[in-house]
Amino acid sequence: MGLFDVIRGAIDDPEKEANTNQIGGILDTIQQLSSEKEAPPTAIESAMSIVGKYVKPALKQKQEEEGEEKVQSIINQFGGTQASEMVVNMLFSNPAIKNTIAQEISQKTGLPEFAVMPMIPKLVPMVLDLLKSGNDPNKNALASNPVAKKFLDADGDGDIDMWDALQMAKGYMGK
């Protein structure tokens, strides 16, 4: 079962926070970034997928060092469509990581690094917002969030199916 299947399951589960407005907000923000950067939406989706690849080990490290509550707190506090330099600095305390992310996005999308760097604080919260979709409002615990669990407990091959999830979400939302 892929990440989008888990997200779709959360949308269908009345006990989870996920809803079509949340997913639509993420897709609308991708469209807005696409317009701002004069780039195809697929480039922004690819950038978000690459950011997800770096968010995963950062959250896993937080989980190992500070516990599941800290990871759930980060997801709850910063998941959304608003830019947050604070969460970027919290997850990627080494500035070299941000540069590595920007370089990889630039290489894979063709977007210039100077245009990519300011996108990172917008993309990280959107990745967290996807993870937030699995929240159970009655249980503020990572263990009850199937989306975050799927994201963090994947097979460790480094392949985050965020790209596939975004493509399926667009189809599901008719966008």
19-38 pLDDT, tens digit per residue, is 888 888 888 999 999 999 99
What pLDDT score does 170 carry?
A: 63
106-157 pLDDT, tens digit per residue, is 999 999 999 999 999 999 999 999 999 888 888 877 888 888 888 887 555 4
Whether pLDDT at 51 is above 90: yes
- Residue range 35-44: mean pLDDT, rounded: 92
Higher pLDDT, 3 or 154: 3
What pLDDT score does 158 carry?
A: 45
pLDDT above 90 covers what percent of the chain? 54
pLDDT class of 66 with cuts at 50, 70, 90:
very high
What pLDDT score does 153 carry?
A: 72
What pLDDT score does 90 carry?
A: 95
CB 152 within 8 A of CB 56: yes
What pLDDT score does 48 carry?
A: 92
Task: Report the chain's mean pLDDT, rounded to a whole number.
Answer: 86
Which residues lie closer than 8 Å to 18 by C-beta, 6 or more apart?
A: 7, 10, 11, 133, 134, 147
What pLDDT score does 175 carry?
A: 61
What pLDDT score does 107 carry?
A: 97
For the chain, give every domain's residue range.
3-173
Chain-centroid distance, C-alpha 26: 9
